Amino acid sequence: MRIGSFELKDRLFAAPMAGVTDRPFRRLCRRLGASYAVSEMVASDPRMRASGKTSRRLDHEGEAAPVAVQLVGADPAVLADAARYNVDRGAQVIDLNMGCPARKVCQVACGSALLRQEDLVARIVESVVQAVDVPVTLKYRTGWDPHSRNAVRIARMAESAGVRMLTLHGRTRACGFGGDAEYDTIAQVKQAVRIPVVANGDIDTPQKARYVFDVTGADAIMIGRAAQGRPWIFREIGGFLRTGSVQPPAAVQEVRGLLQEHLDEHYGLYGESLGVRTARKHIIWYTRRLRGGTHFCDRMNRLERCEDQRRALDEFLQEAGERDDRLQYLDDSIEETAGPECGGDNGDLDAIAACEN
């Protein structure tokens, strides 16, 4: 499929998640089979541009095209200016966030709160499309609540304004991440417009990916939370869609090398002090469901140096590889969570951890 002039090699996308999909993680997902990955949401407010956090989010060094930056905001003129600013710094696609359900975002009338103001949605989309000469895309939810689903109207409005692709999460804002995503609305949007439509929400296995393609007719699917600690899910889904066969679990020694490279790039982006804190959540997602993961995660929360983290993870995976050639996950029902201490930016509007919008 295509986004503007960009031809994508596959139909598997990595979702933008604040505090998660930074440049190192996006590059890893792309390496493992995602053909497209969108940045963490970037505040449109120009006062945020001088912050170290925003600077890191606008760092696209070594990132494969198309470079996609997601903007969050509610003022059409400010969003248009932010779009121009990001295009001048390397963005090749501008994605508009109208899907984040987080309270701190919605309280300032951003994210999925915009779905209650269709006239404002129209002004935002038109303003940003007119401001830049790169494709503008929209990621949103099915509506504010189950009684006011307006995804089809917004889809038609966006297409008329020049939006080049729609990504739709199969929940309303009121649903948060509770219950199950519904895909009927995504199928209706696909029938209503001619631009590409991407399905998002609860796609966590290769079989579920095929099901969502079948029931929605979507042009692509976007994976979010299921890729946390399992970026090779893109490869697993791609293999299943091509062959119909379930791929074996990832080889421990391959994962060992991939994760060391991920940590090296992560520390390089964040530095020692911030790097050790922001890496914890990734390490814990990678390991918490493996044998011995509970004890290891408890230990990881006490390490204060990047090199100690790196060495501990390598030793843990070496021991796992001595037991099994491939990753062996414990029962999903085992409760092992990273907790707020595992990284970083809790409470910050511009970095709401793991907000898969």
What pLDDT digit, counting tens, does each position of 165-185 carry? 999 999 998 888 888 999 999
Residue 17 forms beta bridges with which residues? Answer: 356
Find the range with the poorest average confidence among 171-185, 306-320, 335-349: 335-349
Question: Is 342's pLDDT higher than 70?
Answer: no
**Domain final residue pick, 187, 222, 246:** 246
Q: Which of 29, 100, 110, 175 is catalytic?
A: 100
Better-predicted residue by pLDDT, 45 or 293: 293
Based on the domain organization, do 112 and 156 belong to the same domain? yes
**Domain assignment present for 356:** no
Which pLDDT band holds residue 52 (cuts at 50, 70, 90)?
A: confident
Per the document, the length of the chain is 357
**Domain assignment present for 202:** yes
Whether 100 is catalytic is: yes
Q: What is the pLDDT of residues 197-222, one digit of tens each?
A: 999 999 999 999 999 999 999 999 99
Question: Is 352's pLDDT higher than 90?
Answer: no
**Domain final residue pick, 221, 246, 271:** 246
Distance between CA 273 and CA 19 in Å, rounded? Answer: 16
Which pLDDT band holds residue 350 (cuts at 50, 70, 90)?
A: very low
DSSP-based three-state secondary structure for 167? strand
Based on the domain organization, do 279 and 213 belong to the same domain? no
**Domain assignment present for 347:** no
Based on the domain organization, do 171 and 217 belong to the same domain? yes
* Burial of 309: CB neighbours in 10 Å, binned 0-12, 13-18, 19+: buried
Domain of residue 103, residue span: 2-246
User: What integer pLDDT is reported at residue 205 of this predicted model?
Assistant: 97
